[in-house]
Chain A
Amino acid sequence: MSRNLILGLSAAVLTAGLAAPALADAGDTIKTIVDRGTLRCTGHNGSYLGFAEVDDAGKWTGFDIEFCKALATAILGSPESLQIIPVSWAQRFPALQSGDIDVIIKVTGWTMSRDTELGLQFSRPYFIGPTNILTRTELGAETAADLEGGVFCINAGTSIERIVADYMGARGIQYEALNFEKAEELRSALYGGRCDALAGFGPFLAATRFNAPNPDDFVIMDEVLALEPEAIATRQGDDNFVDVINWMVSGLLMAEENGITQANVDEIRANPPSASVERLLGVSPGMGDRLGLSNDWVYNVIKAVGNYGEIYERTVGQDSPYKLPRGKNHLWSDGGLLYSLVLD
């Protein structure tokens, strides 16, 4: 018995005995995607309302899913060339590192440890998410301090865990953290009354409240615990892939700035108002060949999923059941924090 124990333990240690980090290039993700013919993007192990959810027919929808579609269209020309791989929060980074998925689009906060230690490279933020608190109306709490001693339900393995610990710790507010792996369990625990509050990503809280048996039983506090930039994560060292993603996000925003929508994109392409729109939609070269894509890729993306504003309204905004106001996710010209890069 004990000989086996030693052998087993040494095998386990051997697997882990890998020291000394270094840097090298992380292959060519775009080539892998083109060779495979599909983009492998993140889904959820269940439904993360508004961002990656499964409808009654078993189809994936949501804000993050639309961005997956946009990226698939940009690289492969069609939103159908997409494989949504259901992964849990805890599995998303290992799945990316191991090459199971090509990219993480899963409201992933840009944090220092992820950026430096996980070997991740983040794109520019594509969504600005406040961390809020959803609580029961009957508790009459107005600030986090009113929830002293309460139970907070939190998604395990997310940046929210740390944000809440920091925020409450700094203010000396006692609380009990109850962590769940899956969004379903989190919601059931809240609706069932196991927790007094749900701390999380603002839009997700809104969707959760909307989905409650009686939405008026719940209220989202105005207090913002932290403002988290959500970015698209890739493996470190593939600069070209990050460029494509940055310009895809930028392209969606630029389309909105210029009033280009899914409906009128053909019209505008036939009759471009400016030189930069001309370049954006691939009428004149520059947008694609510099990234190693076809020149009309932004046109294809807009044709497939619409501009940033359209994606927002369709999945979480006014045209969705959740009716979230855009807030900080407006264009800078409308009082938000979003802007496009300069296309020259």
Chain B
Amino acid sequence: MRTLKQRKTRAWIFQAIVLLSTVGLTVSFVVIARQNLLSQGIATGFGFLERSTGWPINFALIEITARSPYWRMLLAGLFNTLLVGFLGLAFATFLGIFIGTIRISSNLILNIIGTVYVEIFRNVPLILQAIFWYAILTHLPSPKQAIPLGDFGFLSNRGLILPALDLSMADVYLLLIATAIALYAAIRMQRAGPELARLAMPLPALAFLGVFVLLLFIGRTPDAPLMTLPELRGLRFVGGVSIKPEFTALLIAITVFGGAYIGEIVRGGFLSVDKGKIEAARALGLSAFRINQLVRIPLAIRAMLPALANQYVWLMKATTIGIAIGFPDYFMVVSTAINQSGQTMELIALLMAGFLLINYSIGHAMNRLNTRLAIKGKAA
């Protein structure tokens, strides 16, 4: 029998070895990389971020031209990833709730539809689905034979064209900022007390509407029409906003695929609710609606949250397959930038940093939600 002291020493030696080899390995990576880059005369450092890219992308939330610097291009890519990611998460959640609900409903036909849906879309790779939807969308008619949607929009292989309000980008930012401030104020008021809480509820909506109306009538150049309607001129539609098929295809794929998974999570959450609790609520004479509202849904959500958090992170990462269908997400922009600038190491590091940031934020937000809900439920 070894003594406790001996065992402790051994543990410390073991840990020191692991730590040293980890550090040593990392250092050797850096040294070798440095040597390799130097010996080939490859420029290093982040100076290239200030240089202009020389190529444009067709989908960006901020203005991008061939003269924009690399950092702006990367930022545009990151915004694209966030946009398609968060919209995808939101839609997938709605779809998932629907699918999960019809799978546990008592109606046989709905059960069958839900099951078939889940089995088909869960068992085929996401990338194949994205390519498939993209192929479908690009086989729509060309702009000249575009399918009109009422009097408002057009559907063609160039995307969905819709009328747009005549607001500049600055207006949109202003609107978002005003709403965010109002939202923050509302949350603070809600915490302050019950009287203020009642007032706080409509505050964000009021702020949004107020600034919106203000902008529409004051913040615009005079004589400009309130709304621009799309109109076919030459090869393209002028006016309105166009939603590109690359974006739509990726969004559909993430929604449909994510919906199948979230549907299963929702179903699992509802099935995990103890039958006895529902029966107890029924015995208390609560109506079916109140049982759902007060017992079943809160309990189910609590059971779903951890799995849902994982699924959200997973779906966010899955946006990287945008590269397969030409959607300029963060990964695609980084990959093109690597080729155009040759700054492989720096750009890969930025790629990793970007995703770490996004995913830790999601993880953190879901954790906070989880703890808040969990504490409420316990009579501690």
Binding site for B on A (CB under 8 A): 1-2, 4-5, 8-9, 11-27, 89-94, 97-98, 113-114, 116-119, 139, 147-151, 156-158, 161-162, 165-166, 169, 176-181, 185, 188-189, 192-194, 196, 235-237
Do residues B336 and A157 form an inter-chain contact, with CB atoms below 8 A?
yes
Chain A residue with the shortest CB-CB distance to B334? A90
Interface residues on B, range: 35 or more
Q: Is B281 an interface residue (CB 8 A)?
A: no
Residues of B within 8 A of A181 (CB): 323-324, 326, 332, 335
Do residues B40 and A26 form an inter-chain contact, with CB atoms below 8 A?
yes
Residues of A within 8 A of B19 (CB): none
Do residues B56 and A177 form an inter-chain contact, with CB atoms below 8 A?
yes
Do residues B236 and A192 form an inter-chain contact, with CB atoms below 8 A?
no
Do residues A119 and B344 form an inter-chain contact, with CB atoms below 8 A?
no
Residues of A within 8 A of B348 (CB): 15-16
Chain A residue with the shortest CB-CB distance to B156? A193
Binding site for A on B (CB under 8 A): 26, 29-30, 33-34, 36-46, 48, 54-58, 66, 135, 138-139, 142, 157-158, 233-236, 238, 245-246, 323-326, 328, 332, 335-336, 338-342, 344-346, 348-350, 352-353, 356-357, 360, 363-364, 367
| A-B pairs with lowest CB-CB distance, top 3 | A157-B339, A16-B349, A165-B66
Do residues A13 and B338 form an inter-chain contact, with CB atoms below 8 A?
no
Kindly identify which residue among B46, B235, B353 contacts A12, using a CB–CB cutoff of 8 Å: B353
Do residues B326 and A178 form an inter-chain contact, with CB atoms below 8 A?
yes
Residues of B within 8 A of A235 (CB): 40
Do residues B364 and A119 form an inter-chain contact, with CB atoms below 8 A?
no
Q: Please report the C-alpha to C-alpha distance between residue A10 and residue B45 in the assembled complex, in whole angstroms.
A: 16
Residues of B within 8 A of A139 (CB): 235
Residues of B within 8 A of A8 (CB): 352, 356
Say whether chain B's binding surface is mostly helix, strand, loop, or mixed.
Answer: helix
Kindly identify which residue among A1, A17, A116, A161 contacts B340, using a CB–CB cutoff of 8 Å: A161
* Min C-beta distance of B55 to chain A, whole Å: 4
Chain B residue with the shortest CB-CB distance to A89? B339
Do residues B345 and A157 form an inter-chain contact, with CB atoms below 8 A?
no
Kindly identify which residue among A14, A20, A161, A165 contacts B44, using a CB–CB cutoff of 8 Å: A20
Do residues A11 and B26 form an inter-chain contact, with CB atoms below 8 A?
yes
A1-B367, A193-B138 known; A162-B66 Cβ under 8 A: yes
Residues of A within 8 A of B39 (CB): 24-27, 237
Do residues B33 and A15 form an inter-chain contact, with CB atoms below 8 A?
yes
Chain B residue with the shortest CB-CB distance to A11? B26
Do residues B54 and A119 form an inter-chain contact, with CB atoms below 8 A?
no
Residues of B within 8 A of A22 (CB): 38, 41
Do residues A9 and B326 form an inter-chain contact, with CB atoms below 8 A?
no
Do residues B349 and A15 form an inter-chain contact, with CB atoms below 8 A?
yes
Q: Please report the C-alpha to C-alpha distance between residue A258 and residue B142 in the assembled complex, in whole angstroms.
A: 53
Q: Please report the C-alpha to C-alpha distance between residue A251 and residue B182 in the assembled complex, in whole angstroms.
A: 75
Do residues B26 and A113 form an inter-chain contact, with CB atoms below 8 A?
no
Residues of A within 8 A of B324 (CB): 181, 185
Residues of A within 8 A of B238 (CB): 149
Kindly identify which residue among A14, A150, A236 contacts B26, using a CB–CB cutoff of 8 Å: A14
Residues of B within 8 A of A1 (CB): 360, 363-364, 367
Kindly identify which residue among B40, B135, B350, B363 contacts A192, using a CB–CB cutoff of 8 Å: B135
* Min C-beta distance of B358 to chain A, whole Å: 11
Do residues B326 and A185 form an inter-chain contact, with CB atoms below 8 A?
yes
Residues of A within 8 A of B335 (CB): 90, 156-157, 181
Do residues A114 and B342 form an inter-chain contact, with CB atoms below 8 A?
yes
Residues of B within 8 A of A156 (CB): 326, 332, 335-336, 339
